[in-house]
Every structure is written in C-alpha cells, then in structure tokens.
A and B are shown apart, each in its own frame.
Chain A
Amino acid sequence: METVAAVQLRNITKRFGKVVANNSVSLDINRGEILSLLGENGSGKTTLMNMLAGIYFPDEGEILVNGQPVTIASPKDAFNYGIGMIHQHFKLVDVFTAAENIVLGLEEEGKLNLKAAAAKIDGICEKYGFQIDPNKKIYDMSVSEKQTVEIVKVLYRGADILILDEPTAVLTPQETDRLFDVMRNMKADGKAMIIITHKLHEVMDVSDRVAVLRKGKYIGDVATKDTSPQALTDMMVGHAVTLNINRPEPKDPTPRLEVSGLTVYDAMGVKRLDNVTFTAMGGEILGIAGIAGSGQKELLESVAGLQPISSGTSIRYRPIGHPEDKDGIELVGKTPLQIKQSGVSLAFVPEDRLGMGLVGTMGMTGNMLLRSYRKGHGLFTDRKAPKKLAEEVLTELDVVTPSVNFPVRRLSGGNVQKVLVGREIAQEPSVLMTAYAVRGLDINTSYTIYNLLTEQKLKGVAVVYVGEDLDVLLELCDRILVLCGGQVSGIVDARTTTKEEVGLLMTRFKKEGEPA
C-alpha cells in the first residue's frame, strides 16, 4: 500500500500582476526521497517553494501535509508543519556564532542554554555527517560552512521536509559532493527533500525523481534513472535543444590586454586582488573561474577604470593591428572617460546589470544613449541614432518589450541582459569583458549569449568571460584563469583541463603568502 505523501500541492496558482508565476501546479513530495525541481529561470520553482515555506500565499489551490489540508501563512506556520527552506541568500547574523544563529528566534521556555544547544547541534552533525563548529562566528566561515549552518538550523527546529534553493550555486565541485553526501544521509533517515537547481548533471547525480516546471506550469515528473540530461532539457524548454557549445579554434591570437602585478584594496583596506598577472589575447575567449568573491568583480572593474588600483600595477592595451607598438596604452590611472577618449574600445557587461550597466528607469533608447550621449550636437542629446540602435538590438536579439521606451527595469532578466550585451557589442569593441553573462538566463538566451561571444572572438576581439558554471567555462573558453582569494592559482587550457583540476585550483590557496 502507498503511504501518504509528506506534502501534496493541489492546483496551486500564484499571480504577480499579470504574470502567472504558478498555474495550477499539483505535485507530491515523498519521504525518503530527493526530488529535483527543475525549470528555467522564471519558470516558478522558487515561487512554488516559497508558498510551502510561508513566504508567499497561494491565490488558489490547497496544500496538504501528511494528508491534512493546511494553511501556511507565515514561515512560522511552515516550521510548525516541519517544513524548512534553505534560501539562496543566507539569512545569518555575521557577528553571532553558529549556535547562536541556530537558536535565534526559537521561543523556548526558560533561560537560553547555549551549551545544550551546542550539544544538540553536534548530535545533528554526527547523525548526518555535517562538519561545523558551533562556536565559530559566521564571519569566519566559508560559504559552504554558512550553508551548513542554514541546513542545521532548519533540522534543529525539527524540519523533516527540506527545501534547498539552488544550494550548489556558490559551492566548488568538491563542496557540492560533500553536500550531496549529507543529503543522501538525510534521505536515508526518511526526510523529504526538494532541491531546486538548473544544473542537469547535479539533478542526475543526487535526485531520485525530477519534476519539471515550464513557464509556471507543471510539465511532469520522471524517475531520474529513466531519463537523461538531454531529455530533461527538452522537457524544460519544450522543444529539442542542442546542448553543445560551438567552439572554433582561436583566430590568430595576439596580445591585447597585458595585466601585470594588479593589486587592489577595497574601501575597508582588505586586499581583493594580489599581484594578478595575465594576458588576454585578441581572438580568444579567456575564462575566469573562482568561488564567488575571489576578486572577479575587482579584476574587471580595474580594467574598466572603476577601481582604485595600488601602485606597481600595469594594464597595457595593444590596439588591433599594431603588434609592433611595444608600449601600447596604459590604462591604470585613467578614468572610464579617459580610457574611452584614448581610443580604447572596451565593452563591459558588469555583474550588476541594472545597478551598473543600465539605467533601470529608462527604456532601451535611453540605455543605448548611455554610451553615446556625448555625441549629440551642442547641449542636447541626439536620440535618433540610439533609437535606431535600440530597434536593431530589439529585432536582432529578440528582446521582448512593449516598446523601446519601456523601462528596462521591468523587463525579465534575459531581456535586460540582451539589451546590455547588445549595446556593448554594438560599440564594436576590441576587448569585451563579461561578468556572469548568463546568470539567471534561460537556456535559449544563454546559448544566444555564448554564440554572440564566440562571434566576437572570431572578429578578433579579446573576450573575457567570468563564469560560475564550470561545465560552460570548459566548453566555451579557450583558456581559463582561476582566481583564488584574489590570486591567480593557475591558467589552464580549457580544451585539456578537467573540472576537478579547475575545482582544486579554485580552493588551492587557503593561506596567504603562497606563491602562484
């Protein structure tokens, strides 16, 4: 006889304005099972889980826990039903210890007994194979330790239905493996687990069953052992997709950007980049890998003239067609405007698209103007050329927007990125830097972006691609520079290296002072 499912969702619908985030979704979650919730960005995975966790309230439909209809109006209700969610962005108090964070907000009788709490935490850790020190402060912890604290926190509260929202996005391959081991232990203990991810190999690796959402609709579920990444992608996208990235050989690579001894301190005086040296070649894609916050942002912003740089650094730019020009143009010490005026055609797709690359309240035309508004005659801006460019980007990249004057802030993530990339490529750059260019984008748009980058590479542009998905880095790039704690821990050939090698390089410098 079939036991009753831990959680049953029945015809759940959630709308945000005109957008239907979830459209009559029904889904069962069983005990002793790891369920992957798969879908492209914007397909409604997180929204659905947020309704289980009490963050949103469904507009229609019902939720049953252990066969009983329940109303989950707040995260507290969710905990009462044993549902715990580990969010993508950690919600921890930095100056507290792990134990303090774990008991925070619990309404227990009597005095706060941290020792007892620590003992209970140790018990949980031992049971499932976590490694954490209850007395360690959060600010001393690595990302993966923080995540462990979040998981232990929900277990401590007695959760037996766990939702993990993209837990691996911030982890190295090795840390991911450790997390999956722990998840398997919890499964063996009879817990129900849902993991939201869009990395297919992880789905295949850890889950027992996969449920697919597409555009807010429930498409279906399959047992993991009966499916393949290709089949899952087709389910997600709705039609067959090729998963291979086309990678032509580099086109006569010539040094374009020579960075040497780049050292950067942030406003707090913390060293963010330490003696980084590399050369980006025209005609190739240089990948940059590293755990989040290893100095990727600072590296790109230094080249773009947006970072105060310590002395002793040199960033030399060699114009196209002048390999004999030994000196090139020094970029250090120049403002973004001076860099532009010295004839360096630098395109930059920053990580924070709306906060740095675009003006959210303006439409596409206004945003095209950002790079060209100085060209207008006299005091006034010329809006004709940018409007034409906006229309070109709109048709060429299939941007979905009501009009070129519609505020880009209200476009979906993929369309925002198309506007930004479209504008940057339209500058006909000789160096194109991108930071997490496909983060949050659906598969089709991601491939559009990969193709655009490869196209630029074939035009002889030096493309710098900061990425987080190692599979993509390995398939797209020609060489990969690995950053670890602000230092270059290695530059490898993307065609011959392995994921494990890059993963190891990402964590190689645990201590300071080790030479590269």
Chain B
Amino acid sequence: MSTVNHTQEPLLRIAKRDGISRPSAYAIRIVAVVLSLVVSGIFIFAVTKLNPVEVYKAIFDGAFGTSRRSWVTIRDTMMLLCIGVGLAPAFKMKFWNIGAEGQVLIGGVITAGFMRAFGGSVSTPVLLVIMAVASLLAGCVWGVIPAAFKAKWGTNETLFTLMMNYVAIQITSYCVALWENPIGSNTVGVINQQTKAGWFPAVFGQAYGLNVILVLALTVGMFIYLKYSKQGYEISVVGDSQNTARYAGISVKKVTVRTMAISGAICGLAGFIAVAGASHTISTSTAGGRGFTAIIVAWLAQFNTFVMILISLLLVFLQKGAIQIASQFNLNDYASNIITGIILFFILGSEFFINYRVILRGKKEGEVK
C-alpha cells in the first residue's frame, strides 16, 4: 500500500445509452452524412485538387443522371434488395448464411440452362414460370444442404455455406464452358438475343418494371411473414435462444431447415431475376459479390425489409457514383472507393453514437446530454 501510484481517470469513457428518441437518432445520422461529405470533400481537394461539389454532382449524375442510369440504379437496387430479403429470415434465426452468392449463382445457372434449352419451343410466359420455379428449387437445395447438415450433425453453417459458394462457382464455370457462344469467347453471350425468349417483358414500358414488382412483392411478403406468421415467430424465438425454443416445444432442427429452404429459394430467385430480368447471360460474376453485400443490407436494416430498400439504394447509389467519378475525372478506382468508404464509415459509425455516448474526463455524467 505504500506504493501509492496515482493513476488518472481515463480520458474517455463509453457508456451505453438508455434508449434514444427517434428524432435525435435521425439527427445523429444526418450529422454523420454531412460530416462524411465534409471529410471526403477535404480528402478530394487535398488529393486531387478537384472541387468537391463537382465530384458530388458527378456521383449523383452517375446514379440518376439520365433516365437510363436511374433505371440501372433501380435494377441493381432491386437485385441487392432481393438477396437481402432472402437473407433476412436466415440471419434473424442467427443462421450465418454466407452462401447467398452460391444460391444466386445456382439459381442463375438453371435459369440460363432453361432459357437456352426451351427458348424456341415454349412461350415466354410459360418459360418464365418454369425458370422461376427451377431457380427457386435450385436455391432451396443450396440452402437446405448446409441447414440439414447443421441440424443433423451440428456442422458449422458459416464454413459450409461459404464452401457451397465455390461449388456453385465451379458448376457455373463448367456451364459457361459448355454453353460458350461464340466459340472461343469464353462467355455464354446474350442468350436468345434475337427472339428474346425467356426475357422479362417490359412492364409499363419499362424493361425492369417486372424486376421491381417481383422484388417489392417479396419485400412486403417477407415483412409480413417475419412479423405476423407463426413460422416467423418461431424464427424469432430460435434466433433469440435455442433453449427457449426447445422449452416451448419448437423443433429447432425443423425450423432451421425450413427457414434455410426459404432463404435459399429467394436467393435462387434473385439469380433468376439477374439472368432473365437483367443480364440475359450467365457468368461466374453474375452474383458479383452481392451475396455478401446483401449481408450488410440485412443486418443494417435489422431484418426490417422496408429499411432494406433504403440501404440497398444507398449502397448501389454510392457504387454507381464511384464508377462515374472514376471515369469523369480520370481518377483511379481506388480514389472513388476511398470516397465511398469514407461515406459508409460515417454512416455505419453513427450507429455507435446512437447506442453509446462518450464521456470526457472530468465531466459529470449528468451534465452530458
């Protein structure tokens, strides 16, 4: 005790907030967006000597500059949203489905296969239904395999779903080689370019109208399913505590497999939308990392599928903008990625300040707002 060493009070302390009102939460988020624009503005000016306002204008142009660009932004938002909606039940159940990428691909491959095989012989509406069902089933199988293994032998779903991605990628590569067109191009090319058989028809004069309708229907449906259905309730209970689920007589295994069947099926359908409704071709990059980005979408939205619309839009908007500034100002990709990174960092970081507050040394807690 004789060694009295005076330790100082820590400079910063972090305390959990006891709830926060909705307006102040949004105020924090708005401040975060403004700050992110300021900081990336400083970065832009410091590194490139460009006028930040011009750059921001370019970002907006990239996403919504023309009607065509707007529709591409919408199309990609719907794609990301669809996968996010698919992942929501799995993650709500705390089942770490890292395999959306593979589930999308396998749904896309089967869609492309049917499109090639029956493009001439079956009418487009019938073909669309066949492809949709096939992609649902394919994604479902891809989701159920890891779920069944987990239910039966307790395997780790994170590794399992991740590895299923590679299986799907290999199958896709094989199919691309098999369906190569023209020979030597190493791609499948646009399928049924002349006949447009099996392509989404224009709805309300918009090529991507059907994408929007399908995905928004799923979004609403999933919201209701998770919030009001018995199965949705079971998912919440299993996600919160498996012991509570067992206690209440819920079969954790059954719920796991069933939920992953749904999750995988919707991701498979996303593959169908990607192929029949957007690219009309298939390659190993058809999913393009969206299976992983959608995980962020699902978690950030706390599995509220309506919030997911906003988050998907934000992510796609930033991505389109980044591409635009890269080409317009001759920046390399990294510069635009840094800008998107800064913006995302602030937006995600604001969640920390919504849940916690920081107390400076010497300040009494009561004085802090």
Q: Is B69 an interface residue (CB 8 A)?
A: no
B57 in the interface, Cβ–Cβ < 8 Å? Answer: no
Number of A-B contacts (CB under 8 A): 103
Asked if residues A379 and B240 are in contact (CB atoms below 8 Å), the reply is no
Q: Which positions 62-91 of chain A face chain B at CB distance < 8 Å?
A: 65-66, 68, 70-74, 77, 80-82
The residues of B that contact A361 with a CB separation of less than 8 Å are 236, 240
A357 to chain B, nearest CB (A): 6
How far apart are the CA atoms of A496 and B248 in the complex, in Å?
38
A17 x B15 contact (CB < 8 A): yes
Chain B residue nearest in CB terms to A57: B9
Determine if B230 and A17 form an interchain contact, defined as CB atoms under 8 angstroms apart. no
Query: Which B residues lie within 8 Å of A73 (CB)?
Result: 7-10
- Quick check: A81 and B1 within 8 Å, CB to CB? yes
The CA of A65 and the CA of B231, in the complex, are separated in Å by 59
Chain A nearest CB: distance from B54 CB in Å? Answer: 45
Q: Which of B18, B249, B364 contacts A59 (CB 8 A)?
A: B364
Q: Give Cα A340 to B233, complex, Å.
A: 19
How close is A19's CB to chain B, nearest CB, in angstroms? Answer: 8
A 437-460 binary contact with B (CB < 8 Å = 1; else 0) = 000000000000000000000000
Q: Which of A144-152, A370-378, A508-516 contacts its partner? A: A370-378
Question: Taking the complex as formed, is B48 at the interface, i.e. its CB lies under 8 A from any CB of chain A?
Answer: no
A475 at the interface (CB under 8 A from B): no
User: Could you tell me the distance between the alpha carbons of A359 and B240 in the complex, rounded to whole angstroms?
Assistant: 6
Task: Give the distance to chain B from A381, nearest Cβ to Cβ, in Å.
Answer: 5
Interface size (B, Cβ < 8 Å)?
35
* Residue ID in chain B nearest A373 by CB atoms: B233
The answer to whether A379 touches B230, judged by C-beta atoms less than 8 angstroms apart, is yes
Question: Do the beta carbons of B228 and A381 come within 8 Å of each other?
Answer: yes
A388 at interface by CB-CB < 8 Å: no
Q: Which of B3, B234, B241, B248 interacts with A80 by CB under 8 Å?
A: B3
Docked Cα-Cα span, A361 to B228, in Å, equals 16
Other-chain residue from B17, B228, B241, B250 in contact with A17 (beta carbon distance below 8 A) = B17
Stretch binding the partner chain, chosen from A171-179, A237-245, A348-356? A348-356
With A17-B17, A74-B7 known as contacts, the answer to whether A336 contacts B246 (CB < 8 A) is yes
Given A17-B18, A379-B231, A380-B228; A355-B4 close (CB under 8 Å): no
How many Å from the CB of A448 to the closest CB on chain B? 23
Chain A proximity of B363: nearest CB distance (Å): 9
Partner of B247, one of A68, A81, A348, A381: A348
A357 CA to B1 CA, complexed, in Å? 47
Closest beta carbon of chain A to B326's beta carbon, Å: 42
Chain B residue with the shortest CB-CB distance to A339: B249
Query: Could you give, for residues 230-257 of chain B, a 1 whenever the CB lies within 8 Å of some chain A CB and a 0 otherwise?
Result: 1101101100110110111111000000
Tell yes or no: B365 within 8 A of A by CB.
yes
Residues B31-71 near A (CB distance < 8 A) = none
Q: Does B152 contact A (CB under 8 A)?
A: no
Q: Report whether A71 and B6 are in contact in the complex, using a CB–CB cutoff of 8 Å.
A: yes
Instruction: Report if B229 contacts A (CB, 8 A).
Output: yes
Q: Nearest-CB distance from B365 to chain A (Å)? A: 5
Contact call A335/B249, Cβ cutoff below 8 A = yes
Report chain A residues within 8 Å CB of B231.
Answer: 379
Q: Tell me the complex Cα distance, A355–B243, Å.
A: 6
B230 with A374: CB separation less than 8 A: yes
> Chain B's nearest CB lies how many Å from the CB of A346?
11
The reply to whether B247 and A306 form a contact with Cβ atoms under 8 Å apart is yes
Bound form: Cα–Cα A508–B276 in Å:
74
CB-CB under 8 A from B5, the residues of chain A are 77, 80
A73 to B7, CA, bound (A): 7
Per-residue B-contact encoding for A303-346, CB less than 8 Å = 1, 0 else: 01010000000000000000000000000000111011000000
For residue A236, give the distance in angstroms from its CB to the closest CB of chain B: 26
Bound CA span A304–B248, Å: 10
Contact status B7-A336, CB under 8 Å: no
- CB interface residues, A 358-373, toward B, < 8 Å: 358-362, 366, 369-371, 373
Question: What 7 pairs between A and B have smallest CB-CB spacing?
Answer: A17-B18, A337-B249, A336-B249, A356-B243, A73-B7, A18-B18, A82-B1
- A residues in contact (CB < 8 Å) with B: 15-19, 57, 59-60, 65-66, 68, 70-74, 77, 80-82, 160, 304, 306, 335-337, 339-340, 348, 350, 352, 354-362, 366, 369-371, 373-374, 376, 379-381
Residue pairs across A and B with Cβ atoms less than 8 A apart, 15 shown, are A17-B18, A57-B10, A70-B4, A77-B7, A80-B4, A82-B1, A336-B247, A356-B241, A358-B244, A361-B236, A370-B237, A376-B230, A379-B229, A380-B229, A380-B230
Q: Which residues of B contact A (CB under 8 A)?
A: 1, 3-10, 13, 15-18, 228-231, 233-234, 236-237, 240-241, 243-244, 246-251, 364-366
Given contacts A57-B13, A70-B6, A73-B9, 10 further A-B contacts (CB under 8 A): A16-B16, A17-B15, A80-B3, A354-B241, A355-B243, A356-B243, A357-B244, A361-B236, A369-B233, A374-B230
